[in-house]
Amino acid sequence: AKKDPFQFRRELMGEHPRFRAAIERVAAMADWGAPLPKGQGRGIAITECFGSIVAEVARVTVDNGTLKVNELFAAVDCGEVVNPDTARAQVEGGMMFGLAAAWLGAITIRDGRVAESNFHDFRTLTLADAPIVHVDFMASTATPGGLGEPAVPAVAAAVANAIFVATGVRLRQFPFSKTSLAWS
């Protein structure tokens, strides 16, 4: 569309105030539009499932073919939040699950069998890989919705969009770690 990704999505949310509020909130949280250093990018995505709306922004750095996800932001409209600590933990866990799948989640088939036998030879997200995560819940009178699963799908899209901003290249295959980032 040759438009700012946030503005483009915001315009699409015109008749959906909960979606529009969530995407505006996450953009504000991530300081959308502020300049970033060379090799960094921000990506934005939004999803709805299990009665919750989750808008996410990813900030990444791509340097010499190496991807680092610096920060993830989420604005969540899940209706009334009953237990804020548990709710935050569910969203953070969902985001890390989604990031692990998009960035590292590959199973190798060799000679018709799965090559990875356990976690010692299957790379997964560790604390050293984990970005800083910011979660904000929207004030809402909607019926309570889900929390863990709704945070998962937008992560891959936000990270892929951020990589595009940082490099000018669209990634369309998962996981990102198996994709050549040498063009950065």
DSSP annotation of 177: G
Phi, psi for residue 54 in degrees, rounded to 5: -130, 120
pLDDT at 119: 79
Give the torsion sign (CA, 150, 154, 156, 158): negative
CA nearest neighbour of 25 among 94, 65, 76: 76
> pLDDT by residue (tens digit) across 156-170?
999 999 999 999 988
pLDDT at 126: 84
Contact 60, 163 (CB under 8 A): yes
> How much is the average pLDDT of 86-100?
95
* Distance from C-alpha of 117 to C-alpha of 47, rounded to nearest angstrom: 34
Q: Which of 14 and 113 is assigned the larger pLDDT?
A: 113
* Distance from C-alpha of 152 to C-alpha of 12, rounded to nearest angstrom: 22
Does 175 sit behind a cis peptide bond, omega within 30 degrees of 0 on the bond before it?
yes
Query: Would you state the structure tokens that stand for residue 146, as one six-digit string?
Result: 């889900």
Q: How many CB atoms lie within 10 A of CB 13?
A: 18
Q: Is the pLDDT of residue 108 over 90?
A: no
pLDDT at 184: 42
pLDDT confidence bin for 95, thresholds 50/70/90: very high
Give the torsion sign (CA, 96, 31, 80, 77): negative
